[in-house]
Amino acid sequence: MIITKKRDFKELMENIKNYRSFFLLGCSECSTLCGTGGEPELKAMKETLEAEGKKVTGAFVAKTGCQVLGTKVELKAFKDAVTEAECILVMSCGAGTQTAVELYEDKPVYPTNDSLFLGNMTRLQMFDERCSLCGKCILDKTGGICPVTACPKGLLNGPCGGTNEGKCEVSPDIECAWVRIYNRMKRLGKLEEMGKIAEPKDWAAHRKPMSLNARSHPEK
Ligand code: SF4
Ligand code: SF4
């Protein structure tokens, strides 16, 4: 999921200081799990804005904010509230914000959150980055642990000389990704595969902006 955190409120208020009325748009998926854009957060934002003398014309938690067509259909029921608002505040990730930009070309749209990374939720509202969306996955060669993401240097052949008792030289709070990979490969009886030198990564697979038509994929 996309991990978000709330923006500094003063920064947000500076962005919207010239507007008096707002429509709030959240998302029931990632930002709900992050505690940044679900029902409780929209309710709290409404109360906060009203305490600041602003008007909230309506609020809605979209099923999947980055799904443009689905969100467009859902928002039809809020046509009047959106029209009445001078500005839309999107309480999901940057993708959700840009759904609103696409749907409401003539209306200012502002994010209330910063989008941080693709994360795994390990416990309630605790998230770890495990994949960098690099475009060409190497987990098949690294025992399923990603050094592009888990090693601060993104080393494809490791460990580096700084590893110390299983910890990373960048921070003692980080397990060395390559020690983890070694231990995993050993457990799987695949240590001999670690003797192969990985070629430099082809970062062309990560050229932005990425786009994909999944319907054009071959069946097999
Ligand atoms: S190699 Fe790492 S960053 Fe790239 S797709 Fe696989 S898990 Fe994600
Ligand atoms: S100690 Fe391990 S995780 Fe840290 S930079 Fe070196 S190889 Fe990467």
In DSSP notation, 136-161 reads S--GGGTTT--HHHHSTT--SS---T
Residue 69: predicted pLDDT: 98
For residues 47 and 219, give the distance between their C-alpha atoms in angstroms, rounded to a whole number: 50
Spacing, Cα 114 to ligand 1 middle (Å): 22
Q: Per-residue confidence at 216, pLDDT binned at 50, 70, 90?
A: confident
For ligand 2, atom 6: residue with the closest CA: 160
Q: What global pTM score does this model have? A: 0.93
Report the alpha-carbon distance of residue 3 to residue 23 in Å, rounded. Answer: 23
User: Which residues does a 6 A CB cutoff place in the pocket of ligand 2?
Assistant: 151-153, 155, 158-160, 162-163, 168-170, 176-178
Query: Do residues 66 and 41 touch, judged by C-beta distance below 8 A?
Result: no
Q: What value does the mean pLDDT of the chain take? A: 96
Is residue 219 very low, low, confident or very high in pLDDT (cuts 50, 70, 90)?
low
Q: What is the pLDDT of residues 85-131, one digit of tens each?
A: 999 999 999 999 999 999 999 999 999 999 999 999 999 999 999 99
Q: Please, are residues 193 and 185 in contact by the beta-carbon 8 Å criterion?
A: yes
Which of 120, 136, 138 most suits a substitution to test ligand 1, by most atoms within 8 Å of the C-beta?
A: 138
pLDDT tens digits for range 11-67: 999 999 999 999 999 999 999 999 999 999 999 999 999 999 999 999 999 999 999
Q: Which ligand number lies closest to the CA of residue 161?
A: 2
